[in-house]
Amino acid sequence: MDNRLDDIQIGNALITLAEKAGAAIMAVRQEADLGVERKLDQSPVTAADMAAHRLLLEGLPAILSVPIISEEAHALPLSQRRQWPCYWLIDPLDGTKEFIAGNDHFCINVALMDQNGPYLGLVHAPVSGETYLGSAQLGAWKYPAGGDAVSIRARTIRPDQPLLCLTSQRHGREAVATLLERMTERWPAPVEAQPMGSALKICRVAEGHADIYPRLGPTSEWDTAAPHAILNAAGGTIVGTTFEPLQYNASESLLNPDFYALGDPTFDWPRLLND
């Protein structure tokens, strides 16, 4: 996993595959019936989720033949998953509720995991056609629809500039509101909050359009792995609320703890965020 040429080949192939899956999602979006059903945990799944899921399951082994963990498939036991040195971790349609609601805050997440960490990540936004791609070897990039790739970088915190915080549109509102009050009391410049859906929030931090995304509510590992790789490549990080690195494939559950996605890991975040 340390060959730059391999990363380039994998990244280019992933972009092509994600665009194909994105087109399938947008085709379903044009239908009157989105095929909404409920999974065992009562979360929604649509025909678009399943169309993208099938395309990714067909296409990823041709790029790299390793195991696949998908939101739309049954996860194997930890005892088996922990034996994998490398695997795909995917969310075929991140932001299903946003998709059903008719807004644009949904995306496709594909992460290549190496030694249980996010090695390479791709996030594709079907509505805008934008794609984010990143790894330690490639760096972090944004591909505008029909345009040339642009290198992206998380921004450095300065006390004289407003602090921009992205928030979930549906989860942890009360806890985040309390956190925002604390940040506003301690930060010398304005603290601005903007709600947004899906993993695109972490990508916005990676490209320097926001400073922090606090997630104080439920997520799964397929929600964070791909944008985590991109944010790492852009100079940022994701940590738990006690500032330990976010872990993957460490328990039977694939649920994440609460976390902070941070653009500037050198800033004294505990002083600003802790009680």
Binned average pLDDT, 10 residues per bin, the chain of 275 residues: 74 97 97 91 92 98 96 93 96 96 95 97 98 97 93 96 91 87 96 93 98 96 98 98 97 96 98 94
Residue 267: both structure tokens together: 């800033």
Residue 6: both structure tokens together: 């391999």
Residue 19, H or E segment: helix 4-29
Backbone angles phi, psi at 173, to 5 degrees: -65, -45
At residue 115, what is the residue type? Q
d(Cα 32, Cα 45) in Å, to the nearest integer?
16
Q: What domains can be seen in the chain, in order of their start residue? A: 4-151 (3.30.540.10), 163-273 (3.40.190.80)
Q: Which of 168, 169, 154, 159 is nearest to 210 (CA)?
A: 154
d(Cα 247, Cα 239) in Å, to the nearest integer?
9
The pLDDT score that the predictor gives to residue 97 is 93
Residue 87: both structure tokens together: 């695997």
Q: How many CB atoms lie within 10 A of CB 37?
A: 11
The pLDDT score that the predictor gives to residue 1 is 56
Residue 16, H or E segment: helix 4-29
The pLDDT score that the predictor gives to residue 3 is 53
Q: How many CB atoms lie within 10 A of CB 126?
A: 25
Residue 174's contacts (CB-CB under 8 Å, 6 or more residues apart) are none
d(Cα 81, Cα 251) in Å, to the nearest integer?
10
Backbone angles phi, psi at 167, to 5 degrees: -130, 155
- The distance of Cα 215 from the centroid of its chain, to the nearest Å, equals 12
Helix crossing, 47-63 with 4-29: angle to 10°? 160
- Tell me which DSSP letter residue 77 carries: P
Rg (CA), the chain: 18
The pLDDT score that the predictor gives to residue 239 is 98
